[in-house]
C-alpha cells in the first residue's frame, strides 16, 4: 500500500509505503484528550517507510508518557505519533491520509476506556450533509 497525506492546511506533506499495515481504533483517554475525538484511528507503519516534504519546517510535537504526538504547527492537525518503546513504527492519524477509502480499521484497542455509544455508530441517525 502506497499512500500520501497531509495536514488540514497542506503545509505538512508526507508519503509512506507499507505492506498490510495494522489499522486500529484507539479508545484510550489520552488519545481522546489529545485529538478531541471519541476515539482515534491509526495506520501503523514501519518508521523507515515514512517520508516528509520539508519535515522540520512545519511539524511541532508534544510528548507525554513516552508517546509523542506530531502535528502541524500552522493548523494544529495531528499527523502521526511515535512511541519511545516502539521506535521502529509510526502511528499515522487516519484522517491525514489522502484517498483512504480502501483502508479500514480491523480492531479496537484500550476498550476498557471506550464510550458505549462509540461501538454503536450504526444506530445513529444519518444525514447526507449537515442538519441545517
Q: Which residues of the shown chain bind Zn ion in the complex (CB under 5 A)?
A: 7, 9, 11, 26, 28, 31, 72, 74-75
Contact 109, 91 (CB under 8 A): no
Estimate to the nearest angstrom the gap between the alpha carbon of 84 and the chain centroid. 17
User: In angstroms, what is the minimal distance from the CB of 24 to Zn ion?
Assistant: 9
User: Minimum Å distance from CB 130 to Zn ion?
Assistant: 23
Cα distances from 36 to residues 3, 40, 48, 79, 114, in angstroms, run 25, 9, 28, 14, 14
Nearer Cβ to Zn ion (11/103): 11
CB nearer to Zn ion: give 85 or 129.
Answer: 85
Q: Which residue's CB is nearer to Zn ion, number 7 or number 43?
A: 7
Residue 93 in grid coordinates: 492519524
Counts of helices then strands in the chain (DSSP H, E): 2, 10
> Residue 103 and residue 22: Cα distance in Å, rounded?
10
Is 76 or 117 the residue whose CB approaches Zn ion more closely? 76
Q: Least Å distance between CB 4 and Zn ion?
A: 15
What is the smallest separation between the CB atom of 49 and Zn ion, expressed in angstroms? 22
Nearest-angstrom CA–CA distance, 10 and 66: 28
Amino acid at each position: 500500500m502506497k499512500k500520501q497525506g497531509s495536514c488540514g492546511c497542506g503545509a505538512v506533506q508526507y508519503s509512506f509505503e507499507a505492506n498490510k499495515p495494522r489499522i486500529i481504533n484507539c479508545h484510550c483517554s489520552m488519545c481522546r484528550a489529545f485529538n478531541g475525538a471519541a476515539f482515534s484511528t491509526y495506520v501503523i507503519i514501519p518508521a523507515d517507510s515514512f517520508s516528509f516534504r520539508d519535515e522540520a519546517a512545519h511539524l511541532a510535537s508534544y510528548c507525554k508518557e513516552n508517546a509523542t504526538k506530531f502535528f502541524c504547527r500552522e493548523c494544529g492537525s495531528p499527523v502521526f505519533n511515535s512511541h519511545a518503546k516502539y521506535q521502529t513504527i509510526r502511528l499515522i492519524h487516519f484522517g491525514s491520509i489522502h484517498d483512504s477509502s480502501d483502508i479500514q480499521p480491523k480492531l479496537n484497542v484500550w476498550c476498557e476506556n471506550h464510550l458505549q455509544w462509540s461501538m454503536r455508530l450504526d444506530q445513529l441517525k444519518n444525514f447526507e450533509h449537515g442538519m441545517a
